[in-house]
Amino acid sequence: MVVCGLPLIPMIIEIAGCKDISFSAVAADGDCLPVNSIIGALEGVSHQILTLERTILNFVQKLSGIATDTKKFVDLISPHNVGLLDTRKTTPGFRMLEKYACAKGGSFNHRIGLFDRILIKDNHLASQSIENSSELALYLTRVNAENPGVLIELEIDHPEQLMPAIESGVDAVLLDNFEPDQVKQAVQLNQNRIILEASGRINLDNIENYARQKPHFISTGAPVHRSKWIDIGLDWKFE
């Protein structure tokens, strides 16, 4: 497992008002541990430990599951010099924690919301009645001019949309639901002029095939919404 969530434990202790409990970590977030490893110790009065037990385990099990699954993806694509990105497909209210867990598993964090960078998706284009390459190029040029200094990424679902994006000066293009051979063609056409991100229907079974095509990044929400909680227990020792 990749352990994650340990810095939350002192916060949970404080919020619960359990002043007679102390926590000492043996591992650190991001450590890859074998089965039956000890990750830390709670010391104090028994009834306060029992009060905290389930809340602490829930957080650490969930976040460690995400970090562990993320590492599985990263291990498959890192030999190809391709980075993994997380997505906004997160549990409401838990986005920062889940993105933190992805980072501890070795991925890079994508945008947090609709405020820290611009990602123009198919629905945005449809809302502007953009139907061809020339209209797309004009729209992207305008967005660039109106948002200086802001990273702009365009989601495309057709290969013919790539060149207008490159020529308009956007920073990145998301290749949505492209097959691996289409990703390869896009990489060759791009000639490393802008960042290319492959995304859509990517899982552990096919991600290495996408990585072989050499996009700069591959994004997937699977480590968050498909991960399983790690089995972590609290065992007692009386002294």
Residues identified as active-site: 54, 89, 121, 155, 176
| Residue among 234, 233, 224, 205 at smallest CA distance from 68 | 224
- Phi then psi for residue 5, to 5 deg, are 110, 0
| Residue among 152, 149, 181, 147 at smallest CA distance from 165 | 152
Number of other residues whose CB lies within 10 A of the CB of residue 183: 23
- Beta-bridged to residue 84, according to DSSP, are 218
The dihedral over CA atoms of 205, 175, 216, 82, expressed in degrees to the nearest 10, equals 0
CB contact set of 8 (below 8 Å; sequence gap of 6+)? 56, 59, 60, 63, 97
Burial (CB count <10 Å: 0-12, 13-18, 19+), residue 236? exposed
Q: Residue holding tokens 């702009």? A: 152
Retrieve residue 147's tokens. 């948002």
